[in-house]
Structure 1
Amino acid sequence: MALLYRLITDADFQEALDKEKKIRVFQDNQIIDNKAIIVRFDEQKIVTQASVGDITYHTRQTCEFFLLKANK
């Protein structure tokens, strides 16, 4: 089972981007993106990519972002 760690700060997002870590995105308590990596972010948007042609733009105010870590 995976553990979820919430991404909040720019440093959190930068680390996930640099290490190409998989994330999960929630909006209104529903998963809207799963096992995606962050490809770009700024103060308002997070851009994720789940597959070659699957780029998604998420707003930081309406979404919650979690880093997926394997439970060992």
Structure 2
Amino acid sequence: MRTLLAIAAAVLLVVWIMVDRQRAEVSFLVGSVTLPLWVALSVAGALGALIGYLLVRRRSTGAPAARRP
């Protein structure tokens, strides 16, 4: 079930990227840049996938959870 959700999310992201072809201004802490919106969406999707992969990998390796004070 989790795999199906990941595939559906990836398909939706690709469709969204293909539809949004305009340029957008992306602001960072130290400045801003104007680039095609599909580039910004692709980078955001890739970073989200990487973070999700790392979180699942950490959980599956049995790493200890962070302790609350």
Name the TM-score, length of structure 1 as normaliser: 0.30
Query: Based on CA coordinates, which of the two structures has the bigger radius of gyration?
Result: 2
Higher helix proportion, which one? 2
Name the TM-score, length of structure 2 as normaliser: 0.31
